Structure 1
């Protein structure tokens, strides 16, 4: 989606209807792939208290689709009105969900299939214009994004799961060009957020001018090899590198390396990747580090994490035109030449693998590979309005969260753009998160 559709042109409305069908179908195929590969015991098990049983995620996906598309947009009768409370994410913390009387795998699959059958009827009948919920197919796009977000969560559950590997994918590509160093982002105002992207979620809105001082940002995320230097230099043992909260968490949790890393008897690092032990690839972006680890590394390197505004300006600002792009490379949708998205691979690609995806300022791999921690907390933009429900964003504003940007190899293109905002607690490591560094300019550089 790159333009706003009014629905006044019939051909354009039918094109949009086809696009909606494609993103819904793609999401459902991925959901099936993440659940059909497991037996019933694995689907109902809780593989970590941080995560829901996969069968809960499956039925929750169907329940949200029923609530918004079948009942609200379509004004149809409920498919299973008796289970809403079981799949309300705000009513039941993840740790408590295994004790609920959940649908079993067969029932959950039947339920989501019944809901989707009704959704096809709703989509066929919808004019895709009128109320804000249906104009430009917003509700359908919201639900496609919701399913893909849960698919990425389920992918993280697969990573936490023990046992034989059940997911397969080709290796992520190696570097196509050598990249290193940093670029300077010029001082000045840029347009942050969006008021026109038809499927942007409420916390991305509205577009607003933001002044940003000149700064330098690394052209690539921090790699495994760079992070190994931090470990070898005693990064996890040097109190002076860590904030007070970060050191307390490092000590309490016994952090010594990124999650899923293991050191063998020959002093070589290995990483568990979806049930398979593999040597750590030196040129991949480091992944499965929490915000406190990223903060400590930045201190060690003499730099800092970028603010959210700095990250977005580096990703979107085109100095030749003065405008903000939808993606780093322009307004065209992601493809396989520009970004590592959509679970095509089960790992980040080496830095330099996607030169076609670089921003106008020359910053690489801002979209895909790893979510990137920023230094910013989660707050609303000036003029924010909750839509279509407060619980998506508003209830989280001001909490103990840090913003992540860019999307990972497990994020789908429908849920990734340069304005998209993710957030999580600074202790989280099960997510597919890494980081890149920034710094203030010296006086002689300004």
Structure 2
């Protein structure tokens, strides 16, 4: 076997393993509940779990079986049912969806054909399949829907059905801020094989010096904001944020409840006291923005966040991850639904950036104060509906992934976005601030 053919063989094995790992997670999330729960809509913000299940199969059929493989359609009649742009989530329960057994049989048949395509297709014949991109796109798509289904589980009522060990405990104390030096750095990527179009191309951004929190804002710090009347004082809120806070009746993060003099939260069917040193989760952009103002700071921009996460001052280059170029391991970050909660601050010292910023990857998605746009030189690939149609909308960016994000769909360049009122997602934040010349 030549070196080139050995590389292609290894790529096929790795890609097949990633596909199967994503499917194993989908199976856990859908087999954990009965059929009644699968077809039920647990929140108008979310699809029934059975819709997500068949949707991941339909996307796999569209891209891998029909496009890459050139095979005949399996179920062309259901394409419109599982078109996310055609049907808002709140309307999906009324559709004639595949039932649980039919959906499971469908995704199984699609996967068999997709793996056969992977065995036969040349992975260098066109851009869509170069380095296994189309297969990687489907891996990431399924893992993203797995995180969405995990969020649906968080919104369902009833006893706990998902189980995982507790995250690791704090290993090092992490407090205060880190100074990020001003100057240019490389944002985005040209080299990450499975990077999506909105992460491309790599380009130079000049960022002024700033300070950023060494760790995400914790529950205990956020509770201080609540105790100080933060939700009742319009000084800390933007005009839009204050209007939303009043309309939605916000007074604490989603899933928090008063527990005597403290707080408890319900997470995946279990109610327990809020853990003070965990990153706060289930807050919207407006809540994060108000806390930052109360703390005398602000939210970082997207470029600031990425510079803090990737810039190596010793070499001037941008790393794939804060810790370097190696793929994440359980030493580095809380990813992949390995745990069902954020880890306390200081639990992953091996995942810190060269500047000493911790837990930028995993635990909680971090709101940043930037809208969604394409980078200079952006080109659509392979379809406009993944990124371009969202550019310029009412979105704020989220970076870094959460405990529910798989490593296949999380890297230092990965970009997520959502409406600023959303908080059913696993979202938290850290603060930043400008620095004065004398601080430098």
> Is 2:103 the partner of 1:108?
yes
> Is 2:32 the partner of 1:11?
no
| Mapped partners of 1:124, 1:251: distance in 2 | 56
| Mapped partners of 2:188, 2:32: distance in 1 | 38
| Mapped partners of 2:134, 2:432: distance in 1 | 37
Match of 2:218 among 223, 244, 265: 223
> Is 2:128 the partner of 1:133?
yes
1:260 maps to: 255
| Mapped partners of 1:393, 1:278: distance in 2 | 38
1:307 maps to: 301
- Structure 1 residue 174, shift from structure 2 partner: 1.3
> Is 2:392 the partner of 1:370?
no
Structure 1, unpaired ranges of 5+: 1-6
TM-score w.r.t. length of structure 2 = 0.99
| Mapped partners of 1:394, 1:115: distance in 2 | 28
Aligned with 2:20: secondary structure? helix
> Is 2:50 the partner of 1:55?
yes
> Is 2:264 the partner of 1:270?
yes
1:393 maps to: 387
The runs of at least 4 aligned residues of structure 1 exceeding 2 Å deviation read none
- Structure 1 residue 239, shift from structure 2 partner: 1.0
Structure 2, unpaired ranges of 5+: none
- Structure 1 residue 443, shift from structure 2 partner: 3.0
Aligned with 2:265: secondary structure? strand
TM-score w.r.t. length of structure 1 = 0.98
Question: What are the Cα deviations for residues 71-97 of structure 1, in whole angstroms up to 9, with x where unaligned?
Answer: 000001111111000000000000000
Match of 2:274 among 265, 270, 280: 280
Match of 1:21 among 16, 23, 30: 16
| Mapped partners of 2:402, 2:272: distance in 1 | 19
Equivalent positions of 1:162-311 (< 5 A) are 162-264=157-259, 266-311=260-305
Question: What are the Cα deviations for residues 259-286 of structure 1, in whole angstroms up to 9, with x where unaligned?
Answer: 000002x212001100110110000000
Match of 1:430 among 400, 424, 434: 424
| Mapped partners of 1:183, 1:359: distance in 2 | 10
- Structure 1 residue 172, shift from structure 2 partner: 1.1
- Structure 1 residue 8, shift from structure 2 partner: 7.4
2:408 maps to: 414
Question: What are the Cα deviations for residues 311-345 of structure 1, in whole angstroms up to 9, with x where unaligned?
Answer: 00000000111100001100000000000000000
Aligned with 1:52: secondary structure? coil
Aligned with 1:134: secondary structure? helix
- Structure 1 residue 173, shift from structure 2 partner: 1.4
> Is 2:407 the partner of 1:404?
no
- Structure 1 residue 439, shift from structure 2 partner: 0.3
Question: What are the Cα deviations for residues 352-385 of structure 1, in whole angstroms up to 9, with x where unaligned?
Answer: 0000000111100000000000000001100000
| Mapped partners of 2:168, 2:283: distance in 1 | 22
